[in-house]
Amino acid sequence: MDRVATLELRSVDLQSPRNNKEHHTQEMGLKRLILRRGQLFTLQLGFNRPFQPQTDTISFVAETGPEPSELLGTQATFLLTQTQHGNVWSASDFTIDSNSLQVSLFTPANAVIGPYTLKIEISQGQGHGVTYPLGTFILLFNPWSAEDDVYLPSEILLQEYIMRDYGFVYKGHERFITSWPWNFGQFEEDIIDICFEILNKSLYYLENPSKDYSQRNDVVYVCRVVSAMINSNDDSGVLQGNWGEDYSRGVSPLEWNGSVAILRQWSARGGQPVKYGQCWVFASVMCTVMRCLGVPTRVISNFRSAHNVDRNLTIDTYYDQNAEMLPTQKQDKIWNFHVWNECWMIRKDLPPGYNGWQVLDPTPQQTSSGLFCCGPASVKAIREGEVHLAYDTPFVYAEVNADEVIWLFRNSQAQEVLVHNTSSIGKKISTKMVGSDQRQDITSSYKYPEGSSEERSVFMKASRKMLGPNRTSSSFLDLLGSGGFEGHPVRLQLHLARTPEWGQDVLLMLRVQRVSHRAHLQGPIRLVVRFCAQALLHGGGTREPLWRHMMQLNLDFGKETQWPLLLPYNNYRNKLTDEKLIRVSGIAEFEETGRSMLVLKDISLEPPHLSIEVSERAEVGKALRVHITLTNTLTVSLSNCTMVLEGSGLIDGQIVNDLGTLMAEHTIQIQLDLYPIKAGPRQLQVLISSNEVKEIKGYKDILVAPARAS
């Protein structure tokens, strides 16, 4: 009987186009194999003769990391069998067709994510085997698999939180929320490689590469590493934060349109942090990385967000008798808004009931286990005040729940509590609505309704856990006896008489109403009201006063009166930050009692608006004419205007045009052709920045049809 020829491998087809489509990774390209764990994929192997299961033995070896090891879960060896066995690496369901072999491989739903090499070892009988390389693949988390810790059982949510490569960040102020379009671009071809480059530059990897790799099966671990690596405070992280106002050594955080340019710059420069980021940039880049890795992720904005360093659940702010908001030596602050992420996962490290959305915050505010990272903190745990649960839950709880105490500062000390707000922090918590460009308010997932019995009892529970049983929750309680919280005989309100636009005078109305009060039953009341306007900073602080005003009022019982207040453009012209926010504050002092009360109004100045029109049907590879119009509605020219266009699937990278100076009351019209690259829903982002106004933004949703067959 003739001896059968040794089985030799002649060809390999990783079937990337077919596998990538089945694994929802086709948007990353079809040339290389990109898989999600916990799901079958198929290969076709060509040999010199037909495979004979009785005598030929085939085993596969999959390896990842610097020193692959079965013990660490970074190496797997598995035989070709006819049936699959549970949640383990396996090769099964093979079919033989002449000299070719079609085989299904399965990766477990708890496998380490990352780039793998795949090899095959062929042997006959007891003889030595011969090893052949089959190629490489990338393995990602799989939110489509019920066995994966990131499983999200809704196709609509998966399309939004994994597949959508553009979205919005909500910025500004709780009363004037602006939607800021952002190009996440997680499927641009090189982004997946940059994501693993980020993991490989972390301090955990540099300290112990094999151990770090072995923990990359755990979504909690990977999220914490990414949270630390998006900022550069401890490591070669992606972004350097800058909350000053000098961005001359880099790019202003307001001038980024998306994550792709940031990630590419970081990679191209060998891991040098990109200048500069603030919270919405950090969170948007983290959203790109996590969606790319396969973790459902969204961007969250919290308006009036507390940064409570001493964990006493109280933020103190101070005004002097001239209504000027004073700087404080404390690190505590109230951001106008703060932006973080939520990632969807099962929390096996917590008691039951805390799965689902988890807060992760890559903005470097304070350290966690020695590094500047934050989370994952269960949103459910925050709502229930379970601040003892990992990770960083007390910090996030305070961001949305701290109390605000406003003091009158006189004679070098805080003398009077003007306001104690239990509901002014953690407002309008927002994210993009699923399948829509609208904003969704998700405040109720973070806390019970303000003032409800549930909300106050959760606050007391969290206070006891954070402060211990013997400490009071706030430093102002000993002043409660001073009568600081009695009502006032007058009600004061500031409101805008017209929409405030940058470059125009701001017109306010002060409404004064005399109300009944036991200490002032009848008779006139005299009060002096001192006003102050200051540029409001993103971090909640203010600049030097830019306008002051004083008025004396005599009020008879039952009367209501209004006074106009004019804040001229010349007063604020060069005094504001790029956010164009003004805080107008007034302190009213009652002559009879010497007591004071505070009235506040924050103003957001509207920038000019741009419009974007697309004339015809969009199709892959076919010219698409775009019309962009900007009218300078201001009374001043806009100098050094630059336009940046971005949009994954529409533009490769960015298009940058210098537009020069746009005179006051003039209009500029720009026409250009785009050649869409990918079919499906896309978003074009347009940013025009100038010396005077940094952020004139617009966007256009565009549905791109596939190229027609010629």
CA 571 to CA 504: how far, in whole Å? Answer: 11
455 known ligand binder = yes
Residue 542: left (phi > 0), alpha (psi -120 to 50), or beta?
beta
Q: Which residue has the tokens 């006819």?
A: 82
Beta bridge partners of 177: 172
| Angle (CA) 405 406 410, round 5° | 130
401 known ligand binder = yes
Q: Which residue has the tokens 């079609």?
A: 102
Catalytic entry in 338, 420, 520, 549:
338
Query: CB-based contacts of 109: which residues, under 8 Å, 6+ apart?
Result: 37, 38, 87, 142, 145, 147, 148
Query: CB-based contacts of 54: which residues, under 8 Å, 6+ apart?
Result: none
Contact 430, 437 (CB under 8 A): no
Q: Which long-range contacts (CB under 8 A, 24 or more apart) does 4-7 make?
A: 4/49, 4/52, 4/55, 4/124, 5/48, 5/49, 6/122, 6/124, 6/130, 7/47, 7/48, 7/49, 7/51, 7/52, 7/56, 7/122, 7/124
Q: In the annotation, is 361 catalytic?
A: yes
242 known ligand binder = no
At position 207, the amino acid (one-letter code) is E
DSSP per-residue string spanning 463-529? HHHHH-TTS-S-TTGGGGGGTTTS--SEEEEEEESS--BTTS-EEEEEEEEE--BTTB-SS-EEEEE
CA atoms 412, 415, 418, 423: torsion sign: positive
DSSP per-residue string spanning 548-572? EEEEEEEE-TT-EEEEEEEE-HHHH
DSSP 26: G
63 known ligand binder = no
HSE-CB of 485 using CA atoms within 13 angstroms: 12
Q: In the annotation, is 338 catalytic?
A: yes
Residue 440 structure tokens: 């969704």
Q: Which helix or strand (DSSP H or E) is residue 192 part of?
A: helix 191-200
Catalytic entry in 165, 235, 361, 392:
361
CA 418 to CA 410: how far, in whole Å? Answer: 12
Catalytic entry in 279, 292, 374, 641:
279
Residue 299 phi, psi dihedral angles, 5° rounding? -105, 130
Q: Which helix or strand (DSSP H or E) is residue 266 part of?
A: helix 260-268
Q: In the annotation, is 279 catalytic?
A: yes
Cβ neighbours, 10 Å, residue 197: 17
- Tell me the binding residues: 401, 403, 450, 455
Binding residues for Ca(2+): 401, 403, 450, 455
Which are the catalytic amino acids? 279, 338, 361
